[in-house]
């Protein structure tokens, strides 16, 4: 299902800067006021923490949705460092129905533009985006534990 929402070129540019240049730790994306285009909402430099990311989501009005990419890092049991770029769809239960529907139906448009995503995290409440929950999801598979 497509919503006809377009993706602003800056969305791809900031993602590529996060992915290849490690310039950012995470980027928040939103729909413009007319719900016709996905645009950059906030870029956060490398060095930020997962708590910073969650706090930015918590600072949003409770009825607003967001897309995000986060450069998720964790240490394996053998001391190795792993990284995965996670794509988040944040649509809290308190969001308006129109926003939920548009974000859900526009997700494929942005995902197709962001090549190389490692995992998708859908969040409707804080437990679904909690660090340990996401860690469990991204660390599945041989060599990631």
Q: Does the structure show a pLDDT above 60 at 143?
A: no
CA gap 40, 31 in Å, rounded: 9
Cα(36)–Cα(29) distance, integer angstroms: 13
pLDDT bucket at 2, cuts 50 / 70 / 90: low
Note the residue count of the chain. Answer: 145
pTM (2 d.p.): 0.92
Sheet of strand 66-75, all strands in order from the earlier edge strand to the far edge: 6-7, 37-45, 24-31, 66-75, 81-90, 119-123
Which helix (H) or strand (E) segment holds residue 121: the answer is strand 119-123
Evaluated on CA atoms 81, 85, 89, 94, the torsion sign reads positive
* Terminal Cα distance for the chain, rounded: 36
What average pLDDT does this structure show over 34-46? Answer: 96
Rounded Cα gap, residues 65 and 49, in angstroms: 21
**pLDDT the model gives residue 141:** 61
Q: Residue 118 in contact with residue 82, Cβ under 8 Å?
A: no
* Mean pLDDT of all residues in 98-112: 94
8 A C-beta contact, residue 135 and residue 141: no
Output the pLDDT for position 1.
44
Q: pLDDT at residue 3 above 80?
A: no
């Amino acid at each position: 299902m497509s919503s006809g929402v377009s993706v602003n070129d800056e969305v791809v540019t900031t993602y590529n800067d996060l992915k290849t240049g490690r310039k950012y730790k995470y980027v928040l994306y939103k729909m413009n006021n007319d719900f016709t285009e996905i645009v950059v909402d906030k870029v956060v430099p490398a060095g930020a923490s997962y708590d910073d990311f969650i706090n930015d989501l918590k600072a949003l009005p409770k009825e607003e949705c967001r897309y995000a990419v986060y450069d998720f890092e964790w240490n394996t049991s053998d001391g190795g460092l792993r990284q995965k770029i996670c794509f988040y769809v944040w649509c809290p239960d308190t969001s308006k129905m129109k926003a939920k529907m548009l974000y859900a139906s526009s997700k494929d448009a942005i995902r197709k533009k962001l090549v190389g995503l490692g995992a998708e995290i859908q969040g409707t409440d804080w437990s679904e985006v909690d660090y340990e929950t996401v860690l469990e999801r991204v660390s599945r598979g041989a060599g990631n534990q």
